[in-house]
Amino acid sequence: MKRISLLCVLILLVSIALTGCGGRKPDSVGIVQAIGIDKANDGFNLSLQVFRVSSSGSQTPIDSSKTNVEVISAEGKTIANAVQLCENQLGKKIFFGHNQLLVINKEVEDIYSCLDYFINNDDAYIGMIVAATEKKAKDIISADISSGAVAAETMKKIFDISKKDGYCTDSRFYKVISNYINTKGTAVLPLIEKRSQAISDKSKESGEPAQDTLEIKKAILVKDSKFSETLETDEVFGINYFLSQVDDADMTVNTSYGTESAKLHSVKQNAEITEQNNSVAIDKEITVRITLEKEESKDHIDEIKAEVEKKIKEYIESACKKLFYENSADVMNITSLIRQKDYKLYKKLKDDPDEFIKNIKTDIKVSAVY
Amino acid sequence: MKISSWQLLILLFLSRIFIAITYFTLEDISPSVMMSTSAISVATDMVLVIPAIFLYKNYPDENVIISAFKVSKIFGIILTVLYFIFAVFMIFRTVRFFLYFFENAFSNLLPTLVVGVMLIAAAAYVAHLGIEAAARSSSIVFAVFILLLIAVVATTAEDFDITNYYVEHIDTNDVFGGIVSGLSRSSEIVVLVLVLPYLKTGITKSVYGFLLLKLLFVEMIILLCMLFLGGYMEAVQFPFFTVCSFAKAPFVDRLDAIFLVVWTLIGVIKLSLFTISLRPASVLLKPLQNSAVTNLVPFVLGGAPALYFAYKEQMIIPLLDNELTAAAIVLLGTVIPLVVLILRRFKREKN
C-alpha cells in the first residue's frame, strides 16, 4: 500500500508539473484576445489586442466597467516576423490560446499565408472567429466597446448572436480551414463593420463620446487564397438556410392580414446527389420551424408558412447564383456531400472542382412547419 | 506476483493507445482508409498472437525466453539479448516520441530535457515496484482516460458535421500500408510473449479483449476527429489533441491540459512495461539478476539517446515507424514464440 501511494504521488507530481503554466508566469505572457491583420508596404501589419491585468483608473485588477486590454502593432514581412516584433514591444511572450477573433483586411492578398501561421501554432485556439473587414483591421480590434471586461469577448458574442440570426456564417477557424482544404481554396468569411453611436439619449445630450458597435450583415468570398466578391445579406441568409445553421432568425413577411414577423429555426435538411449528363444535380429539402408572437388562425399560419418558404427559397437561389454560377465557389459543403454520397463521382470530379460547381443543378424544396 | 486477465488487458490497451491518441500519419491516407486499415490490422494481430496464446496454454509459468532456456542455454541467451535490445529500442522510441509531442504541443512550458528525465525516473520507479503496481495504476489511468474521452465527446458533439464522414474504397497498397503501419505500433504483441508468467488465468480473454478494445477506441478516436475537424485534420499533426484543445469542460477551459496529464500517465505505464516484461527471464542470467540492472539499464540505454535527439531537435519518429519495426515485432512476437513452441515439442518427444 505504501508503495502504491508513493507511486501515485510520483506520477501525480510529474503530471502536475506538466499541466500548469510552469514555465510562464502570467505577467510574462501577453494573452492575446483579438488579432487584426492589415496589408503593409512590405508584408503585414499585425495588431494584437492583449489582455491587461489592471485597467487604467481601476482599483481592482479586473474592472468590468473598463476594457482591460491594450492594442499593440508591428509590421513584418511574415506573420511570424510581426509576432516577434510585437513580443519585443511588449517584452512578453505572446500566447494565442485564448484568442477569440482574427480580423483580416480585405486588401491582404494571400489569406492562407496569414492563416497558416495559426495552423502551425499549437497554442492557437481553433475555435476563434475569422472575419474580414473593408476598413482597417486594427480599428476593428481597437473598437471601444464598453460592455464586458475584455472587448474581444463582447465581439465574439456579437458573432455568436449574428450567427444564430443568420447574418453571419460559421467562420470558426477550423471550419474555415476545413472548407478551404476540402474545396481546394474556397471559404467564406463574415464582413465586419464598425459603427459609432451614442449609448443613450442622455449621453447624447451630455456630449459623452460615442461608443463603438460592430455590425455583421455581409460576407466575403475567399477564392484561391484571395478575397473575391462581397456577398449581400440575402446571400448570407441563403448560405445559412442551405446549411441549416439558422437558430433564431427573424423574418418579416407580407400577408393578406398585413406585415407579420416570425421567428425561424432550422430543423433538418436532406440532400440527394445525382449525376446528370456530366453534371451534378442536387435535390435539397430544408425544413424550418416557425414561431409566431401570438396565436393565429390556421389560414393565417398557412399563408405565413407559404411566404416564409418562398422567401427562404429566394435567399438560397440568390446564394447559389452568386456562388455556384458566378464564382464557381463551394462554401455550402457540396464537395463533402458528394464525397459522402457517391465516392466514385467525387473521385471523378475532385480534380476540377470549379467546373462541376459551375454546372451544378439545384432543386431546392423548403418546408416550413409551425 | 500475478495479475488478472482484466489487468493485463488494460495494461496492453494503455500501451497501445499511447500512440493512437496523438500521432497518426495522414500523408496520402484519408481517415476513412485509416478506419478500414485499422480494422484489418487488428484482424492481423488476432492471428499473430496465436503462438503467445499456445505458449501460455502449454507453459503457463514461462515466457518465450524461459521456454527458450529450456530448449538450450545458448538459445535462451540469444533471445534474452534480442528482447533486451527490443525493449531498449522501444524505450528510446517512446521517450523520443513523448518529447517530440511535448516540444511541439507545449513548447516553452518546461525544458524538454527536464520533462524527459522526469518521465524516465517515474517509469523506472514504476518498473521497480513491479507489475502489480503498474497494473493497479493502469486501472486508475484507464478510468481517467475514459472520463477524458467522455468529456471530449460530450463537449464537441454539437459541432460534429456528419458530411465530414465518408467511406473510401481501399486498394491493395492501402491494405499493405495499413497492416505495416498498424504492426509497427503494436509492440504489445512482443510485450505479451514476455509478461505471460505474470498472468493468473484467462489469456484468450486478455488478448482478444485487448484487441477488440483497441479496435473500438482507435476507430472511435479517428471518427471523432473526422466528424469534428473534417478537412482540418489534414492540416494538423496531432488531431485528437487538437480536438481536446477546443473542448471546454465546466471545470477546465481547455481539455488539452487534462490530455497532457492522462497522456503522461499512459507514457509512464507504457515505458515501465518494457522493463517489467524482461524481469521473469532475468533470474536465469547472472548479470540480470540484480534488479537495478534490469530496471535501470534499459532506461539509460534507451532514454539517453532519446534525450540527446530531443536536445538536438532531430525528428526521427518517421524513421522508427516503418517496415523494419513491423518486421521486428512479427519476428519477436510471433515467429520466435512459434519456433520455441515447436522446439519444446521436439525436445519433449525426444525425451
Q: Decide if B8 touches A, using CB distance below 8 A.
A: no
Residue contact A11–B107, C-beta within 8 A: no
Q: Which of residues 185-204 of B touch A (CB under 8 A)?
A: none
The pLDDT value given to residue A155: 82
Please name which of A146, A249, A153, A230 lies closest in space to residue A189, comparing C-alpha atoms.
A230
Residue contact A180–B231, C-beta within 8 A: yes
Instruction: Identify the bridge partners of residue A113 per DSSP, sorted by sequence position.
Output: none
Partner residue facing B137 (CB), from A11, A174, A179: A11
Q: Which of B142, B166, B263 to mutate to test the interface with A (most CBs of A within 10 A)?
A: B166
**Amino acid code (one letter) for A306:** A
The pLDDT value given to residue B346: 85
* Mean pLDDT in residue range A171-194: 90
By C-alpha distance, the chain A residue nearest B262 is A15
Q: Provide the shortest C-alpha distance from residue A180 to chain B (in Å).
A: 8
| C-alpha span between A49 and B140 (Å, rounded) | 42
Determine what percent of chain A is predicted with pLDDT higher than 70. 83
The pLDDT value given to residue B205: 93
Could you tell me the pLDDT band of residue B281, with boundaries at 50, 70 and 90?
confident
Q: Which residue has the higher pLDDT, A354 or A289?
A: A289
The pLDDT value given to residue A249: 86
The pLDDT value given to residue A104: 94
Q: Is B3 helix (H, G, I), strand (E, B) or coil?
A: strand
- b/e for B89-120, b at 16 or more Cβ within 10 A? bbbbbbbbbbbbbbbbbbeebbebeebbebbb
Size of interface A-B (CB pairs under 8 A): 122
Is the pLDDT at B67 greater than 70, yes or no? yes
Report the residue count for chain B: 351
Q: Which of B104, B108, B158 to mutate to test the interface with A (most CBs of A within 10 A)?
A: B108
Top mean-pLDDT range of A154-163, B59-68, B292-301: B59-68
Residue contact B166–A8, C-beta within 8 A: no
Q: Which of A9, A51, A128, A178 to mutate to test the interface with B (most CBs of B within 10 A)?
A: A178
The pLDDT value given to residue A122: 78
Top mean-pLDDT range of A14-28, A191-205, B331-345: B331-345
Partner residue facing B264 (CB), from A18, A125, A180: A18
pLDDT tens-digit map of B25-39: 556 678 888 899 889
Q: Which residue has the higher pLDDT, B122 or B314?
A: B122
* Mean pLDDT in residue range B100-113: 79
Could you tell me the pLDDT band of residue A199, with boundaries at 50, 70 and 90?
low
| C-alpha span between B265 and A10 (Å, rounded) | 10
Q: What are the φ/ψ torsions at residue B208 (nearest 5 degrees)?
A: -75, -30
The pLDDT value given to residue A291: 86
DSSP letter assigned to residue A26: G
The pLDDT value given to residue B120: 93
pLDDT tens-digit map of A235-270: 999 999 999 888 888 888 888 878 888 888 887 888
Residue contact B165–A24, C-beta within 8 A: no
Could you tell me the pLDDT band of residue A201, with boundaries at 50, 70 and 90?
low
Q: Provide the shortest C-alpha distance from residue B330 to chain A (in Å).
A: 32
Could you tell me the pLDDT band of residue A313, with boundaries at 50, 70 and 90?
very high
Q: Decide if B251 touches A, using CB distance below 8 A.
A: no
Angle between helix A111-120 and A79-90 (nearest 10): 60
**Domains identified in chain A and CATH numbers:** 27-231 (no CATH), 237-370 (3.30.300.210)
The pLDDT value given to residue A365: 92
Could you tell me the pLDDT band of residue A19, with boundaries at 50, 70 and 90?
low
Residues of chain A found within 8 Å of residue B295, distances taken between Cβ atoms = none
pLDDT tens-digit map of A37-73: 999 988 899 999 988 765 444 445 555 555 677 889 9
The pLDDT value given to residue B311: 84
A361-369 vs A279-292, strand pairing mode = parallel
Residues of chain A found within 8 Å of residue B234, distances taken between Cβ atoms = 181
Q: Decide if B169 touches A, using CB distance below 8 A.
A: yes
Residue contact B109–A126, C-beta within 8 A: no
pLDDT tens-digit map of B159-215: 999 999 999 888 887 788 888 888 888 899 999 999 999 999 889 999 999 999 999
Residue contact B245–A333, C-beta within 8 A: no
Is the pLDDT at A1 greater than 70, yes or no? no
The lowest-confidence range among A198-212, A298-312, B1-15, B126-140 is A198-212
Please name which of B240, B184, B192, B203 lies closest in space to residue B41, comparing C-alpha atoms.
B184
Say whether the ipTM exceeds 0.95.
no
Please name which of B214, B136, B168, B192 lies closest in space to residue B334, comparing C-alpha atoms.
B192
Angle between helix B239-246 and B131-156 (nearest 10): 60
Mean pLDDT of chain B: 87
Mean pLDDT of chain A: 82
The pLDDT value given to residue A236: 92
SS3 sequence, A101-169? Answer: EEEEECCCCCHHHHHHHHHHCCCCCCCCEEEEECCCHHHHHCCCCCCCCCHHHHHHHHHHHHHHHCCCC
Is the pLDDT at A16 greater than 60, yes or no? no
The pLDDT value given to residue B173: 78
Partner residue facing A15 (CB), from B105, B106, B265: B265
Q: Decide if B254 touches A, using CB distance below 8 A.
A: yes
Q: Is B297 helix (H, G, I), strand (E, B) or coil?
A: helix
Is the pLDDT at B269 greater than 90, yes or no? yes
The pLDDT value given to residue A35: 93
Is the pLDDT at B320 greater than 70, yes or no? no
The pLDDT value given to residue A195: 78
A129 touches A100 (CB < 8 A) = yes
Is the pLDDT at A175 greater than 90, yes or no? yes
| C-alpha span between A228 and A226 (Å, rounded) | 6
| C-alpha span between A299 and A98 (Å, rounded) | 51
The pLDDT value given to residue B23: 65
Residue contact A18–B260, C-beta within 8 A: yes
* Mean pLDDT in residue range B75-104: 90
Is the pLDDT at A23 greater than 60, yes or no? no
Residues of chain B found within 8 Å of residue A174, distances taken between Cβ atoms = 229-230, 232, 242, 246
| C-alpha span between A36 and A29 (Å, rounded) | 19
Q: Which of A1, A117, A122, A170 to mutate to test the interface with B (most CBs of B within 10 A)?
A: A122
A284 touches A278 (CB < 8 A) = no
Q: Which residue has the higher pLDDT, A168 or A4?
A: A168
Q: Provide the shortest C-alpha distance from residue B125 to chain A (in Å).
A: 7
Is the pLDDT at A21 greater than 70, yes or no? no
Is the pLDDT at A9 greater than 80, yes or no? no
Is the pLDDT at A274 greater than 60, yes or no? yes
**Which residues of A make CB contacts under 8 Å with B?**
3-4, 6-8, 10-11, 14-24, 93, 97-98, 119, 122, 125-127, 174-175, 177-182, 333, 336-337, 339-340, 343, 346
Is the pLDDT at A341 greater than 80, yes or no? yes
